Structures are given as structure tokens and as C-alpha cells.
Structure 1
Amino acid sequence: MSDLERLVSLCPPPAVVDRAVLGRGVGPAIPASHLDLLNAYGTGCFDEFLWIYGAGVENKHLDIHSRTHGMRKILRRNTADGIREVLRSYGVDASELIQWGGTDNADSLMWIPVGDPVGWPTLIIESGQLGFTVSPRSSTGVLLDLLTGVLRTDVFPFDFPSENPSFSTDFIP
């Protein structure tokens, strides 16, 4: 069973998905696995906390390109030493990261674009760059690992995930 199939089994997607979020817009590349995730769920929120972004979304708060541009501006001004060191180990800098998700606490989930997009690791950065975690998994794998408790990080609150994770496309700016 694939990560996406396991995620769908754990947390069913909405009955109707806005597939207009797939692959539109000008900006960084998006791994095929994330496009598959968007095809299943659309943009929205897992467990009332963790948001996933799509490409070319009208709502700039859910658009990968808009969110990536904003985060790169922040990281260009100030990147914590530990994060810089991790990025150097991958041969990239903060200006290359691509933000594919975020939380209600302003934490960021970003791809480290090295090699084939199929294998891009995810850097989870706590708001204010107070802490971070790196996962070698795709966005779908990271979501699955977070929602099943396989991946635990101090970046997220102790009560995430809930016992019965859900997905919602609702968004209030």
C-alpha cells in the first residue's frame, strides 16, 4: 500500500476536490507525489492545524509559490545557524527551500530541493526558527508519519495529532 493510500485510509479526503490547484503558476517545481496528494485532497488543513499548499491557488495563503516567496524573504534576512548548517550539508541555502505546508502556529514545512524531486527531504521549521526537524520523506510521507505518530517533533504541540485526524478545505483568511 502506498503512502497516499495509507493516508487516505487514515484520514479520508473531501468528497469534492478542487483540482484547479494542480501544477498551475510560475515558480519552483513541485514533486509528482505532492501533485498526487493535491489530486486526492486539494489544498486545506489536516487535523485543524497542518495546512498543505497547492500551485496557482487564488488564495495566496494556500499557494506554494506565494508562501515560498514570503518564507525566502524571511530566511534571507535571518536564518538560524543550525538550519544553515543542515542546509550546507545538502549543498543548498535557504533561498532554495520550497514551502509546501505550514501550521496554525506559523511553523513551516519546506522541501530541501536536492536531486530528484521524488527524494526531496522535508525541513520542518518552528516559528521563529527556535527548532527544526528534517525528514527524508515526501510531503505525503511526512503527513502520514505525523498523523500516525511515527514522526514526533518538538516543533508541533503535544496534542497533535488527534486520535481521529480529519481534513478540511475550509479556510478563513
Structure 2
Amino acid sequence: MTDANRADDLLKLTELCPPPADPGPSHSERGVRTPRLIPESHYDLVRTYGTGCFDDFLWIFAMGADNANLDIESSTGVMQSILRAKGAPDLREVLARYGVKPQDMIQWGSTDNGDSLLWIPAGEPENWPTIVIQAGQLAFVISPRSSTGVVLDILTGELNIGFFPDDFPSDHPEFSTNPYV
């Protein structure tokens, strides 16, 4: 992904869903206990919006978030444990094509229904695809887009996730920074 594409996606997203006036601390600039490579486009998303929720449903995580439920490291550790314990042959087969195991994925978001948004860390971070995994059922959808592109595509209807509720997204999506913290 080029810097121009990354900026274009973020601009389109902010036009569709204005970011908060104060997104909170820039978690990406904090010291993090276990550094992990994260796509720069996700840092841009978090610097613009902060951690929180699109349309009271789609949650965005950050490195070093104050809320452990919204912290990439904490959430990824939990998700990796869950995925290690699951057979999920279809998921494993698809990930094997990327040279990745389920426990290698990095969680950057979730939904109120418990669905997970994860990067498939294959290749350069800016080119990591996203996989959206349905809670419990392990059905999934893969998008080649960045986290910002995935959010934009979901909110515009360009990316249809069949297991998301019919009333999401709304016609006028809003973002809430840590609405329940």
C-alpha cells in the first residue's frame, strides 16, 4: 500500500465518519512492553480516532491501550490461545496458503458480537490482509485491505460481512472513543 492510498482511505473514512475532537493519547507513541510490528496505516487510524467503537459495534484496538480489552497485545494473546485450541480445518487451510498458522495472527479489532478482526502477518505489514472471523462458528471473510480500508469498506457497504447484523452500519456512522470505559 502506498502512502497516498493510505492517506486517501483515512481521508475518505474521516469524511464518512468524523473522528472525535480529542481521540485521547496516541498509544502508538507510548512505550509498549512487548514491541510488535504494526502497520503504519493502523497507527494513523488510531492517531486519528483513538481506541473505541464505530456505530456502537465495531471496535478498534491500539498498542498500549489503557483498556486491556482494546489493547492489541492483550487481545492477540487471548485470541491466539483460542485459535490454538480450535481445529478449524478450513481456516488453517486458507492461512497455510499465506504461510501462517492461526496462532500467528494479530487481532486489531472486534465486534459487540465477539467477531474478531485480525491481520494475517504475511509479507510487509502495510500489505497484511485482514481476516474477519465469526465468533463461535469460525466462518470468515478475508480482505486484502488495511485496517483503515476494511473499516471504510464495511461502513460504505463495499465489504459485506454476512454474519454482521443487518442494521450495521447505520446510514450515518459515528465513532465513540472508549464509550464504556
TM-score class normalised by the smaller sequence: over 0.9
CA contact (8 A) 1:23 1:35 kept: no
Partner in structure 1 of residue 179 of structure 2: 171
Q: Distance in 1 between matches of 2:25 and 2:61?
A: 12
Number of equivalences: 173
Task: Provide the aligned C-alpha RMSD in A.
Answer: 1.3
User: What does 1:80-99 align with in structure 2 at a 5 Å threshold?
Assistant: 80-99=88-107
Residue of structure 2 equivalent to 1:75: 83
Contact between 1:55 and 1:64, CA under 8 Å: does it hold in 2? yes
- Look up the match of 1:116: 124
Does 1:153 find its partner at 2:158? Answer: no
8 A contact 2:26–2:46 mirrored in 1: no
Scaled by the length of structure 2, what TM-score is found? 0.92
- Give, in whole Å, the separation in 2 of the partners of 1:142 and 1:170: 20
TM-score (norm 1): 0.96
Matched, 1:20 2:26: yes
Which residue of the partner structure matches residue 4 of structure 2? none
Change (3 A) 1:20 1:107: same
Amino acid at match of 1:154: G
- Which consecutive segments of 4 or more residues in structure 1 shift more than 4 A? none
Aligned to 2:158, the other structure's residue is in SS state: coil
Q: Which runs of 5+ in 2 are unaligned?
A: 1-6
* Structure 1, unpaired ranges of 5+: none
Secondary structure of 1:127's aligned partner: coil
